[in-house]
Amino acid sequence: MFENLSDRLGGVFDRLTKQGALSEDDVTAAMREVRVALLEADVSLPVARSFVKAVTGKATGAAVTKSVTPGQQVVKIVHDELIKVLQGEGEPDALRIDNPPAPILMVGLQGSGKTTTTAKLAKRLKDREKKRVLMASLDTNRPAAMEQLAILGTQIGVDTLPIVPGENAVQIARRAKQQASLGGYDVYMLDTAGRLHIDQVLMDEVQAVRDVANPRETLLVVDGLTGQDAVNVATEFDAKVGVSGVVLTRMDGDGRGGAALSMRAVTGKPIRFVGLGEKMDAIEVFDAHRIAGRILGMGDIVALVEKAQEVLEVEQAERMMKRFQKGLFNMNDLKNQLEQMQKMGGMQSIMGMMPGMGKMAKQAEAAGFDDSVLRRQVALINSMTKKERANPDMLQASRKKRIAAGAGMDVAELNRLLKMQKQMADTMKKLGKMGKGGMLKQAMR
């Protein structure tokens, strides 16, 4: 799927992983090669650029764990960044097909694999989700295309709307809608006509069909082999008819793969499925993790670094535990805790679970404590010096002003933070005194 890109990247990382320590020059040189590899794979220039920039930034500032080489760490960073570029923020949605009959509009250029993909998806919905699906071809210009869908329907055991000669696309869409309601179908799929190029007549027709069907999903089918062209097609279709997701076909070929990497970043639209062949089962839900794995082909290294990261986190947690047992709790500890809380999502719930902190949780709630507060508090701590974090009691009024200003906040907010740290430190001291961590150990569990 991404042979060329994988080979190119593999070469870059092979050279890196052999080295013990990684200099900034090494990273820069490697990233130059990564950039060339991306461009050769037909990734758009802005996407390649921002990709390289993000990786360089992270690779330079990364805390490298002892058990992996810096080169391996870079592989992991590239891997994570690939996932980000491929899927954007958040996890991909499932198809919205509740509220039967749910209309799915299939759009795309002629030859992109639209009809094949319509049938593949219908089969998937039928087999995996036990949905009753009705397919309709709206390609009145090409009777052969209508026939093709009917043949595929028979082959996969999915109903197609009977062909009535002389109807236009909008009439067929209306009939499909009616038939889907009357026939008790869960989903009906409209396979619109494609042209060789985007033109006004085509767009007008698709818009008219869209307005009749009011689709839950408008899936654009594009040929993955066409690289940046596929991305341009997606941009245009989205501007004219609105697209809810993209299906990239022909990803079984040894294409350059650039379309997959640029699609989300350029169009903002998620890739939902990839087509992997001509057979009716040759379709996969788009999975950024899997694709990133295929591009890099370095699953072992990624797993190794992930493991090392976990070990590091456990070590950190143990170190903190020891400090708490001694009744130590400075701003670094607080920062650590705040970041953990951010990760675990939610302050009150966590504090509420800790003996002795229930009251504070209530106070926090009363004070309108939410996750934006967590972020602000971390920003305040970040604007302190190392010494100040280790020993916040030393802060004078003038420094407080500077710290608050540095984080763009009021001194009052800093004071609240200091008070909170002090309360927590006091609690730690008390807990620490209650026998060798017995109580605390429970509290931290």
Binding site for ligand GDP (CB under 6 A): 108, 110-116, 194, 249-250, 252, 275-278, 282
113 annotated as a binding-site residue: yes
108 annotated as a binding-site residue: yes
Q: In angstroms, what is the minimal distance from the CB of 225 to ligand GDP?
A: 9
Report the residue number, 215 or 432, with the smaller CB distance to ligand GDP.
215
Q: In angstroms, what is the minimal distance from the CB of 275 to ligand GDP?
A: 3
191 annotated as a binding-site residue: yes
110 annotated as a binding-site residue: yes
Report the residue number, 16 or 119, with the smaller CB distance to ligand GDP.
119
409 annotated as a binding-site residue: no
Q: In angstroms, what is the minimal distance from the CB of 297 to ligand GDP?
A: 21
> What tokens were used for 19?
């080295």
Q: In angstroms, what is the minimal distance from the CB of 284 to ligand GDP?
A: 10
The pair phi, psi for residue 191, each rounded to 5°, is: -95, 95
Report the residue number, 114 or 335, with the smaller CB distance to ligand GDP.
114
The burial of 429, by beta-carbon neighbours within 10 Å (0-12 exposed, 13-18 middle, 19 or more buried), is given as: middle
Report the residue number, 116 or 377, with the smaller CB distance to ligand GDP.
116
Alpha-helical runs (H) found in 67-106: 70-87
C-alpha closest to that of 250 among 342, 114, 128:
114
Q: In angstroms, what is the minimal distance from the CB of 110 to ligand GDP?
A: 5
CA gap 95, 115 in Å, rounded: 18
386 annotated as a binding-site residue: no
Identity of residue 354: M
CA gap 223, 345 in Å, rounded: 40
Q: In angstroms, what is the minimal distance from the CB of 278 to ligand GDP?
A: 4
Report the residue number, 116 or 267, with the smaller CB distance to ligand GDP.
116
Q: Which residues, 6+ apart, have CB-to-CB distance to 362 below 8 Å?
A: none
> What tokens were used for 390?
């280790």
The pair phi, psi for residue 210, each rounded to 5°, is: -60, -45
389 annotated as a binding-site residue: no
Report the residue number, 225 or 347, with the smaller CB distance to ligand GDP.
225
CA gap 142, 148 in Å, rounded: 10
Q: In angstroms, what is the minimal distance from the CB of 420 to ligand GDP?
A: 56
Report the residue number, 206 or 357, with the smaller CB distance to ligand GDP.
206
Report the residue number, 277 or 297, with the smaller CB distance to ligand GDP.
277
SS3 76: helix
408 annotated as a binding-site residue: no
Q: In angstroms, what is the minimal distance from the CB of 307 to ligand GDP?
A: 35
DSSP for residue 217? E
The burial of 127, by beta-carbon neighbours within 10 Å (0-12 exposed, 13-18 middle, 19 or more buried), is given as: middle
CA angle at residue 12 from 8 to 15, to 5 degrees?
140
Asked if the bond preceding 101 is cis, omega within 30° of 0, the reply is yes
307 annotated as a binding-site residue: no
- Residue 326 β-bridge partners: none
Q: 248 near 34, Cβ under 8 Å?
A: no
202 annotated as a binding-site residue: no
C-alpha closest to that of 81 among 100, 62, 102, 107:
62
Residue with the CB atom nearest ligand GDP in the bound state: 275
Q: Which residues are annotated as a binding site for GTP?
A: 108-115, 191-195, 249-252
Q: Which residues are annotated as a binding site?
A: 108-115, 191-195, 249-252
